[in-house]
Amino acid sequence: MKRTIVEDAMFPGCPVRNILARICDKWALLVLCLLERSEQGKLRFSELKQAMPDISQKMLAMTLRTLEEDGYVSRTLYAEVPPRVEYALTARGETLRPILEELLAWAMENRDAVMRDRRRAHASKNENKRLKA
C-alpha cells in the first residue's frame, strides 16, 4: 500500500490493511519506538535522523507526515531562529506504548535465534547454488 493512499481500494473496510500497512513499515515502527523510549517524550527531527542514520531526510519527513496524518504523532513548531520542530506521541500514539514495549522485548529476546536461522538459511541457499553450478 502506498503511503499516500488514504484507504485500500480493494479492501476499504479492512482495518488490518488500512491501519497496519501505514504503521508497520520499518521506518514508522522505528520512529514510534524512538518516541516511545524518549526520556523527554519528544524528539527533534535531527535527533530522529541521528538515531536512524540509514533513513533519508525525505523518507523521515514522509514517515513523520504519515504518522501525524493518522494521529499517532504530534508536530510542534517553535518560532525561534533557527526554527525548532519537535515530535511526540499523541494520546492515540501513547495507546501503542504497551504494544511497542512488547514488540521490542520480543525482538531483543529472539534476536540471536532469528539471526542464527538467517545465517543458516543463507548458507544453505549458497550451498544449493554452488551444487547447481
Asked if residue 33 is part of any domain, the answer here is yes
Asked if residue 118 is part of any domain, the answer here is no
Q: Distance between CA 105 and CA 71 in Å, rounded?
A: 25
Single-letter residue type at 57: Q
Contact 34, 48 (CB under 8 A): yes
Number of domains in the chain: 1
Cell numbers for 58, please give them.
525525505
Asked if residue 32 is part of any domain, the answer here is yes
Q: What is the CATH number of the domain that holds 72?
A: 1.10.10.10
The pLDDT tens digits of the residues spanning 61-108 come to 999 999 999 999 999 999 999 888 999 999 999 999 999 999 999 999
Q: Distance between CA 96 and CA 25 in Å, rounded?
A: 15
Single-letter residue type at 33: C
Asked if residue 46 is part of any domain, the answer here is yes
Spatial CA neighbour of 70 closest among 51, 98, 93: 93
What residues have CB less than 8 Å from 37, skipping those under 6 apart?
none
pTM as predicted: 0.80
| Domain of 47, in residue numbers | 15-95
The pLDDT tens digits of the residues spanning 10-37 come to 777 777 877 888 888 889 999 999 999 9
What residues have CB less than 8 Å from 17, skipping those under 6 apart?
1, 8, 11
Q: Which helix (DSSP H) or strand (DSSP E) does residue 74 occupy?
A: strand 73-78
Asked if residue 129 is part of any domain, the answer here is no
Give, as one character, the DSSP assignment of residue 16.
I
